């Protein structure tokens, strides 16, 4: 049963759950055992400090603990440092009418005048044994107000106790922190928060199941006040899905690598009114909880049935896919800030998370290999005689069209870099089937020197892997060639003329070594010359037709004209500066340059 402050609320007064169930004793304070132990011992042994600093996240009980401490210091029937809660002093402090407790909100009273008023009235007596000053959000005080508080904070009257509360202790000045006893409050664990919500649900007679409480625990994020506010909202609406989106169906699509199922679940959430930024943030939190359940279950905030669901889904996805999905969705949150349509960015991230084989680089390759290994394992475990499901054969991609050259006209050097036409595959006759095994024809042996390197593979590594290792004229000569075909271990390269071929043959060994380094196989380079077709002579020109264009020159690319830019060096500055003066002196022998020329 959750303990409340037992405030005398009217029967028709509507009070929030976090106010009604605010802890009124140290025993009712959840998740702060280290703070309770320190304060109860100080009250019991009469060693209470003159000033305390309570710091921690919101909703963890800082102000409530300060009021409990004030009750314990002024309680008439305190037992072992615990206030009774029924004496006149405890009741007045609970109502907020006690003269022994003065509360100040530094966020709205951060000026020096408010602090001066505290300092001037601190020495005055009060009905109880101690006068307790509670200053919330003390880090909001101005520099002048903080300086005005220092002297009284260091040496207050004997009956005065200061309790300063803040959510950001780093903003509190070091001079104040050095004069107080600092106690840090922590966020509540998932189990502690879930038990608190169950006690409140049972005491308030709320019709909510454990699954709804699990959603409220996630929404609270360790804050008791936030969790009680969310619990009240869920109780008013009657459905936890209206407080926080549910991603069970979407994550199932990610587990099954079903992008369509994941996008359908995302569309349902989007139609329900959730924005893409909120959906992305909550989905990352769900995946993070699954990640923590795999790595360190004690750190996870999930509880109840939701904890079991997230743990099961995390095991099915695996740690590697969980990490990649969180990284992908995290990058999409950054991209959505400037995107014209954030919904599209989120959908693309969902598809990439569901289909990791779409990723570029090593991650996508690893996923494709893992998928193949899983398929091989499934086939190996399949019972004998069971045929696998047919796999649809993709339609062949036609080769790119190549514009044929005119008969008798030589192509330009740039035309030799065009994609070659793919030769149509020749259908081989099916082997003859005979009933007698001895009459069966022998199997055709594989050709000697056969290789698995295709023309497409050579084209892929030709520019960077082969030509990239050449320099100067050699590189220029081979760049003008065109790859024709790959036959076994022989690669055919076509060049425009015989002199061109002779110059390429001089560096043939370098090119073959580069191809071996790039493919891992010993390949032979065959260089052939493009011979223009002469089977049909050109038709004679008609009298009215213009004269034919001049024949292309057979001038061969000279090696001296091939200059690699990387081989050029800068001339010395002295040679450039004296060039004009040297020219004049050579034209007029005996002339002398003037001083300063």
Strands 482-487 and 490-495: antiparallel
Report pLDDT for 390.
54
Please list the residues that pair with 51 across neighbouring strands: 162
Helix 112-121 and helix 143-154, axial crossing angle in degrees, nearest 10: 20
Strands 131-136 and 524-529: unpaired
Q: How far apart are CA 399 and CA 421, in angstroms?
A: 7
CATH of 245-376 given 1.20.272.10, 2.60.40.420, 3.20.20.210, 3.90.228.20 = 1.20.272.10
Q: Which CATH architecture group holds 31-186?
A: 3-Layer(aba) Sandwich (3.40)
Encode 261-272: b = buried (16+ Cβ within 10 Å), e = exposed.
Answer: bbbebbeebbee
Q: How far apart are CA 236 and CA 16, in angstroms?
A: 12
Q: How far apart are CA 55 and CA 169, in angstroms?
A: 6
Task: List phi, psi (to 5°) of 509.
Answer: -65, -35
CATH of 450-529 given 3.30.450.20, 3.40.50.1240, 3.30.300.180, 3.40.47.10 = 3.30.300.180
Please list the residues that pair with 160 across neighbouring strands: 131
Of the candidates 483, 489, 487, the one whose C-alpha atom is nearest the C-alpha of residue 461 is: 483
Report pLDDT for 328.
92
- Token readout for 502 is 């002779």
Q: What secondary structure does DSSP assign to 31-77, as a single string?
A: S-HHHHHHHHHHHHTT---SEEEEE-STTSSHHHHHHHHHHHHH-SS
Report pLDDT for 186.
92
* Domain parsing of the chain, residue ranges: 31-186, 245-376, 450-529
Report pLDDT for 305.
80
Over the stretch 507-538, which tens digit does the pLDDT of each residue have?
888 888 888 888 878 888 888 887 765 545 55
Within 10 angstroms of residue 91's Cβ, the number of other Cβ atoms is: 16
199 touches 1 (CB < 8 A): yes
Q: How far apart are CA 243 and CA 233, in angstroms?
A: 7
Q: Of all helices (H) and strands (E), which one includes residue 101?
A: strand 101-105
Give, as one character, the DSSP assignment of residue 505: H
**Residues in the chain where the model's pLDDT stays below 50:** 1-6, 8-12, 391-449, 535, 543-544, 552-560, 577, 596-597
Residue 419: burial class (beta carbons within 10 Å; 0-12, 13-18, 19+): middle
214 touches 304 (CB < 8 A): yes
Over the stretch 533-569, which tens digit does the pLDDT of each residue have?
554 555 555 544 555 555 544 444 444 455 555 555 6
Q: Which positions ≥6 away from 526 have C-beta within 8 Å?
A: 490, 491, 492, 493
Please list the residues that pair with 528 across neighbouring strands: 494
Which parts of 535-577 fold into alpha helices (H)?
573-577
Q: How far apart are CA 588 and CA 571, in angstroms?
A: 26
Report pLDDT for 262.
93
Residue 67: burial class (beta carbons within 10 Å; 0-12, 13-18, 19+): buried
Angle formed at CA 211 by CA 207 and CA 216, multiple of 5 degrees? 85
Encode 552-584: b = buried (16+ Cβ within 10 Å), e = exposed.
Answer: eeeeebeeeebeeeeeeeeeeeeeeeeeeeeee
Walk across the sheet containing 482-487 and list its strands: 482-487, 490-495, 524-529
HSE (CB half, 13 Å, CA atoms) of 580?
2
Report how far apart, in Å, the C-alpha atoms of 18 and of each of 23, 351, 390 are: 9, 41, 61
21 touches 200 (CB < 8 A): yes
What radius of gyration do the chain's Cα atoms show? 43
Report pLDDT for 163.
94
Angle formed at CA 165 by CA 164 and CA 170, multiple of 5 degrees? 100
- Token readout for 78 is 């305190």
214 touches 244 (CB < 8 A): no
HSE (CB half, 13 Å, CA atoms) of 426?
2
Task: Give the residue carrying structure tokens 């003859």.
Answer: 432
Helix 62-74 and helix 33-44, axial crossing angle in degrees, nearest 10: 20
Report pLDDT for 571.
58
Which parts of 155-301 fold into alpha helices (H)?
174-177, 190-204, 210-220, 224-237, 248-255, 259-271, 276-295
Helix 62-74 and helix 88-95, axial crossing angle in degrees, nearest 10: 150
175 touches 145 (CB < 8 A): no
Same CATH fold, 245-376 and 31-186? no
Encode 158-173: b = buried (16+ Cβ within 10 Å), e = exposed.
Answer: ebbbbbbbbbebeebe
Q: How far apart are CA 561 and CA 272, in angstroms?
A: 71
Strand (E) positions, 443-563? 482-487, 490-495, 524-529
Give the CA dihedral 120, 124, 129, 135, nearest 10 degrees. -20
Task: Give the residue carrying structure tokens 């329900």.
Answer: 272
């Amino acid at each position: 049963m959750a303990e409340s402050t037992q405030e005398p609320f009217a029967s028709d007064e509507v009070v929030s759950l976090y106010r009604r169930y605010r802890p009124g004793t140290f025993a009712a304070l959840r998740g702060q055992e280290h703070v309770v132990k320190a304060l109860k011992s100080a009250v019991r042994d009469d060693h209470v400090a003159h000033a305390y600093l309570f710091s921690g996240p919101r909703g963890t009980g800082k102000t409530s603990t300060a009021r409990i401490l004030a009750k314990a210091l002024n309680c008439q029937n305190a037992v072992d440092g615990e206030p009774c809660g029924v004496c006149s002093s405890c009741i007045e402090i609970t109502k907020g009418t006690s003269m022994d407790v003065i509360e100040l909100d530094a966020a709205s009273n951060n000026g020096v005048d408010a602090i001066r008023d505290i300092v001037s009235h601190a020495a005055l007596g009060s009905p109880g044994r101690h006068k307790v000053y509670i200053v919330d959000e003390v880090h909001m005080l101005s520099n002048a107000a903080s300086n005005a508080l220092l002297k009284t904070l260091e040496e207050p009257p004997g009956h005065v106790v200061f309790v300063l509360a803040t959510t950001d202790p780093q903003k509190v000045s070091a001079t104040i922190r050095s004069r107080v006893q600092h106690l840090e409050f922590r966020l509540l664990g998932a189990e502690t928060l879930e038990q608190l919500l169950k006690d409140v649900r049972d005491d308030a007679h709320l019709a909510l199941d454990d699954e709804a409480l699990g959603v409220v625990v996630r929404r609270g994020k360790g804050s008791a006040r936030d969790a009680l506010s969310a619990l009240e909202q869920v109780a008013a609406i009657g459905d936890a899905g209206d407080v926080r989106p549910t991603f069970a169906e979407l994550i199932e699509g990610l587990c099954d690598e079903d992008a369509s199922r994941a996008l359908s679940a995302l569309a349902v959430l989007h139609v329900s009114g959730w924005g893409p930024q909120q959906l992305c943030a909550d989905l990352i939190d769900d995946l993070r909880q699954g990640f923590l359940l795999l790595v360190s279950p004690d750190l996870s905030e999930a509880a109840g049935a939701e904890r079991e669901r997230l743990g099961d889904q995390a095991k099915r996805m695996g740690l590697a896919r969980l990490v990649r999905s969180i990284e992908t969705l995290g990058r999409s949150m950054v991209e959505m800030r400037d995107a014209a349509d954030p919904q599209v960015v989120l959908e693309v991230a969902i598809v990439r998370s569901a289909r990791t084989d779409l990723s570029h680089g090593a991650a996508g390759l690893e996923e494709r290999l893992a998928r193949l290994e899983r398929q091989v394992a499934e086939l190996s475990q399949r019972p004998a005689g069971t045929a696998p499901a047919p796999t649809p054969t993709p339609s062949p991609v036609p080769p790119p069209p190549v514009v044929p050259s005119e008969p008798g006209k030589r192509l330009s050097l740039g035309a030799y870099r065009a994609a070659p036409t793919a030769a149509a595959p020749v259908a081989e006759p099916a082997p003859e089937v005979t009933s007698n095994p001895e009459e069966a024809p022998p199997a055709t042996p594989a050709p000697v020197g056969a290789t698995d390197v295709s023309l497409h593979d050579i084209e892929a590594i030709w520019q960077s892997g082969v030509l990239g290792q050449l320099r100067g004229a050699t590189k220029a000569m081979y760049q003008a060639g065109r790859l024709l075909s790959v036959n076994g271990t022989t690669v055919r390269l076509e060049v425009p003329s015989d002199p061109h071929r002779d110059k390429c043959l001089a560096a043939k060994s370098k090119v073959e070594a580069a191809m071996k380094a790039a493919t891992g196989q010993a390949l032979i380079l065959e260089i052939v010359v493009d011979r223009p077709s002469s089977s049909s002579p050109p038709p004679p020109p008609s009298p009215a037709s213009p004269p034919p264009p001049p024949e292309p020159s057979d001038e061969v690319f000279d090696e001296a004209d091939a200059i690699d830019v990387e081989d050029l060096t800068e001339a010395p500055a002295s040679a450039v500066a004296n060039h004009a003066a040297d020219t004049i002196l050579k034209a007029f022998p005996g002339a002398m340059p003037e001083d300063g020329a």
